[in-house]
Structure 1
Amino acid sequence: MNSTSLTPDEITRIREDFPILKREVHPGVPLVYLDSAATSQKPASVIEAMNAYYRHSNANIHRGIHVLAEEATAMYEEARLKVAKFIHARSEREVIFTRNTTESINLVAYTWARANLKAGDLIILTEMEHHSNLVPWQMLAAERQIRLEFIPATDDGLLDLEIYRQLLSQNPKLVSFTHVSNVLGTINPAKEIIRLAHAAGAVALVDGAQSAPHFAVDVQDLDADFYAFSGHKMVGPTGIGVLYGKEAILNAMPPFLGGGDMIKKVELRSFSANSLPHKFEAGTSCIAEGIGLGAAVDYLSGVGMGRIAAYEHVLTQYALDRLSKVTGLTVIGPSADRKGGVAAFTLADIHPHDVSQLLDRDGIAVRAGHHCAMPLHQRYNLPATTRASFYLYNTRAEIDHLVQSLERVKKLFA
């Protein structure tokens, strides 16, 4: 894959693809969108793909034999094929459509985990996890008396793999971890973590919400048992997510939800489950959103994931260099060579909510708070941070604008 960085002219053309980037959020104040870790903006091609479905082919899928139903089914299943290719799954049967990463992780917790784990079994997580990869396991632990242990985050924002190796000696049944931290930006060594988990006899689940949108993911090369991510963070629509699972594991799992389309046969007192992937997709799916996700995959693949990753690396390095010149500002997490396009920071003793609100006056959209990672903030003794996050449509000029605005914030609180 071509990993040369995107050129300024290419970024200008990419920005033209995103209608919202032309918006003024206040009179005469253009939008500077630095909140893609929360949700990304959508190119016109994604919006138009969903609109075309509703205008021309709106029907339920898998159940009808009329023209509209067949068209809708074909578009929806084509999107699944695109996703399978995008993450290098062996088969489209290994791609389960969910609402989001959160639902994907909960699906594993409610099906695989409840079928395979018992009191006293160990799950290994990390201190970096989003609440979506903490709370489902906490709920399971309370219900089944499962043990939870955590790989610590070091002072410089990395995982302590020596402690991980020690935890593996306790025979865990599951290792579930984030590929990229949504706060620190840390890109964790997923392949090594999975290899060690398998050597210890554990199943490995990866939260890929912050990785799949930003660099090439090969689930076969990683050897992940489960990999979860969301459409809305990868220039796709909200309401659609993906759970990848190895086919043999998915086949052995019980269904998640009961209802239509997830069955082969139903009698008054029994049912038999459908084959993959429909076994885990009860009821009417998010059809337009699935089609929109397929269009998002087309868009990102057209740009090139290697080139996106290279550009984001350059942009992140530039952002960290510029932010380091702001006195009183501290970015948490590792250096640019170890992280994705995320810069979470504190600014003197100014509350992040105040920073965010004042940046908004200059049209800059960032995130303030604990970013659904309260334990990680506690680890660094921080009540909250301000987070700027970058994607393929951001520019150095926008980062300069951020830095200038932060200097104005400092003066207001001087």
Structure 2
Amino acid sequence: MMKQTLGVLGGNSIGVALADSLEKRGYPVVLIEPTGELSIPLETIKFVFLCVDSSQFWSVVEETVSFLTKDTCLIIHPTVPIGTGDQLQDWCDQKGLKVVVASCAMMEIQHPSHIVIGGQANHPKLKELRHIMLSYDVPILMTTRKEAEIIQYTRNAFLATKMSFINQVASFCETFGGDIQTIARGIGMDPRIGQGALKAGIGFGESLSDNLLSLIEQGKQNGVKTPLLEAVQEINDVQGDWVKNRLRRELGALEGKTIAIWGVRDQPALDIIEQLLAEGMELHLYDPFLSSDHSFPRNTIWHADKWKTVEQAEALIILQECQPFQEVDLLHLKEKLNHPLILDGRNLFYPDMMDMLGFRYIPVGRKV
């Protein structure tokens, strides 16, 4: 039997990923741009996922939602301020729109471990929505809209907390001795904690940070103190200085130094690049998943060949965890490097092996 057509309103990265994910599960999907033309009438789509940034949320709602019919279920997917779902339902009711509003919380859109759906309990449209999401073959929790929104925020905040915690522990390991990966395994063996997100590195990125700062701000606006969340963000900000500080210890003054950087796709890497540029360094960049037409930070030098980046470099910095870096020919790298200094922000290699090969290898959370 032909599955019903679903709508995804908003062409940002979340909307595109969700549309692709639903199509892979057999649902025809119409990607709706707020000001674009549709291949089919909007009123024929009975389930519409609203995937727009918080800053554009209400303007998109006002432009688009009035075209929906009384049989439509409007699902808020991305992270929005707590209470937005209830506000949207009230707005629709005041406009006389018989639209049912739900909130949906998913991590890892392509392969979620679970799904949270918030809305009016036992409403027929919520039951239909649950049936659609059962195509992901993962546990589904039904909640109120506010509960789903709080879950989305606090789940991200807890993930960020674990990441900042293990980075704080990594600082102890670098000072007192010990291997952060062994420490993390030992901590994670406690079933109350688990192994997830206990991987030291250069910090979490813009998405988690924005989520955390938004939750902190919502707390301030409503009289809720958030000292733990503020500390999590502060630790992450400090962790971003790890590369610069370690380079100073190894190279002294940084101005004029030539550095190779592998892996430049996420926000922590871009922040580190900006820090090093501010120090007056010459940066040679490589990423196996980017090409020369990508928009790179100004005053950097892009190479399509990773070996070209290291020929004149006084150090190699690894900022991304990916298979091409994990499988690199280390003997050839040793030959190519002008100086055998590697700062590894993702802990890809065994320190003893790197020492045996003649590298000055500095990972996160290991005393060297």
Q: TM-score, normalised by structure 1?
A: 0.28
Higher relative contact order (CA 8 A, sep 6+): 1
- Could you say which structure has the larger radius of gyration? 2
Q: TM-score, normalised by structure 2?
A: 0.31
